[in-house]
Structure 1
Amino acid sequence: MAKCFNESDREAVYRAIYERRDMRHFVRDPVAPEVLQRLLDAAHHAPSVGYMQPWRIARITDPALRAALHESVESERLATADALGKRREEFMKLKVEGMLACGELLVMALMDGREKHIFGRRTLPEMDLASVACAIQNMWLAARAEGLGMGWVSLFDVEVVRTLLGMPQGARPVAILCLGHVAEFYPEPMLETERWASRLPLSQCVFENRWPDERDEK
C-alpha cells in the first residue's frame, strides 16, 4: 500500500485547500519571476482527460492590453448587474476583480484543435474545460502556499477577449486570473462576508447510489 504524506505535509495540503480565497484586493508589488514560474509549472502539472493538456496561458505584460481587458470586464459587470434584477444594487457593491492592482494578470484559455482529442471526450466534450479548471485550481493552491492571492474573473465577453489576444479559431478564454501579493487573506470567502451566498452543507452535495428524491427531504 502506498505511503501517505507525513503529518505536517498532509496538514499543509489541507490548509492550502481551506485557506484558499478568491482574492479581489492586491498590494502593488511584483511577483518574483521564480515564484511565477513555479506557479505556472504547478498549473501545467494538472490532470487532464486523455492527457490532452488543453490549457494555454497568456501572461499580460502590456499595460494597454491590461486596460482593454479591464474595460471588457467592466462592461460585462454592468450587463450582469442589469440582468440580476432585484439584486442589481447589491451586486454593484461587490468588488468583483482586482485587475489593475495585481502584480500579474493571466488569461487561461482552451487551446484550438481540441476536436481531434477523442479519449475521454467522445460523450463528454466539456472534459477539456474540466481539465483547464484543474490547472487553475493547481495554481490557486500553489499561490496560497506561496503567500500570494489569486482571483478568478469570469465577467467578460468571450469574443472580445479572443480578439484582444489574437486567439486562433477554436481557442477560447476561460478565466482572467489576477495574481499578486495581498495585505491579508479574507477570513472566509468574500461572498459569504458580503452575505451574497453561503456554503452549502456537505450533506446536500453528497449522496449514495442514487439521486435523492426531493420528497425524501421533506
Structure 2
Amino acid sequence: MSTSVEHRFADAEREAVYRAIAKRRDMRHFRSDPIDEATLRRLLHAAHQAPSVGLMQPWRLIRITDRSLRVQIHELVERERQATAAALGGRSDEFLRLKVQGVLECGEVLIAALADDRERHIFGRRTLPEMDLASVACAIQNLWLAARAEGLGMGWVSLFEPAELARLLHMPAGAKPIAILCLGHVETFYPAPMLELQGWTLGRPLQDFVFHNRWRQSGEEG
C-alpha cells in the first residue's frame, strides 16, 4: 500500500518549501539592477506551472520593458492611491505615509491578467465562474514563492483602475488586468509583513480562520 512517506520530499527539500512560504513578503523597496534572463525565465515557468480549474490556464503575463510605459503605470497607481486615501476618511494621512508600490525602482514589472474569451471554459466554472481569477492568483503565488527562493522580492500592486490599465496595454475586450507585479533585487526582506511593521494592521492567528463542521459564529469559542 502506498503511503505519503514514499512520496515525501527529503527533509531539506521540505524545509525549503515551508521556508519560502514563511519568508515571502509583499515587497515595496527594491534595487534597480536587472534580473538576469535565465532567472526570469525560471520564474515565469514556475508561474505557468500553476494549477487551473479545467486546465484553462487563464493567466496572461505582460512584461513591461518600455520605461515610458512604466511611468504611465506608476501614474495610474498614484491616482488610485489618492482616491483610496480619500475613501479612507480619518486614516487617509496614515495611508498616504505608506509605500504602496515600487514600479519605478524594481528590476522588472509584470502585469498579470485574465485572458479574454473565458466564457467558453465551463468545466469547474459553471457555478463558480470566479475560479478563473483563483487560477491566476495561483500563478502569482507560484511566481512569488519562486522569486523568494531565488532571493528576489516581489510586490503585488492592486491600486489601479482595471479599465484604464487595460486600455494602456491594448488588451482585447474581455481581458482584465489583475495585478501589477514589481519584481527585483532588494537590500533586505522585511522581518514581518510591512503593514504590521508600519502599524497599519496586524495579522490574526490561524485558529481564527479554521472552523469545524459549520461556520463559527461571532463570539463562539474556537
**TM > 0.5:** yes
d(CA) in 1 for partners of 2:219, 2:178: 37
Letter in 2 for 1:185: F
- The aligned counterpart of 2:38 is 34
Q: Which runs of 5+ in 2 are unaligned?
A: none
Deviation at 1:201, TM superposition (A): 1.2
d(CA) in 2 for partners of 1:88, 1:179: 27
Letter in 1 for 2:88: L
SS in 2 for 1:216: coil
**Identity across matched positions, percent:** 64
d(CA) in 2 for partners of 1:177, 1:86: 29
What is the alpha-carbon root mean square deviation over aligned residues?
1.0
- The aligned counterpart of 2:194 is 190
Q: Deviations over 1:109-138 (max 9, x none)?
A: 000000000001000000000000000000
Letter in 2 for 1:18: A
- The aligned counterpart of 2:155 is 151
SS in 1 for 2:7: coil
d(CA) in 2 for partners of 1:214, 1:33: 50
Q: Which runs of 5+ in 1 are unaligned?
A: none
TM-score of the pair, normalised by structure 1: 0.98
- The aligned counterpart of 2:116 is 112
- The aligned counterpart of 2:19 is 15
- The aligned counterpart of 2:52 is 48
Letter in 2 for 1:10: R
Alignment of 1:1-218 (within 5 A): 1=3, 2-217=6-221
Deviation at 1:214, TM superposition (A): 2.2
Equivalent pairs counted in the alignment come to 218
TM-score of the pair, normalised by structure 2: 0.97
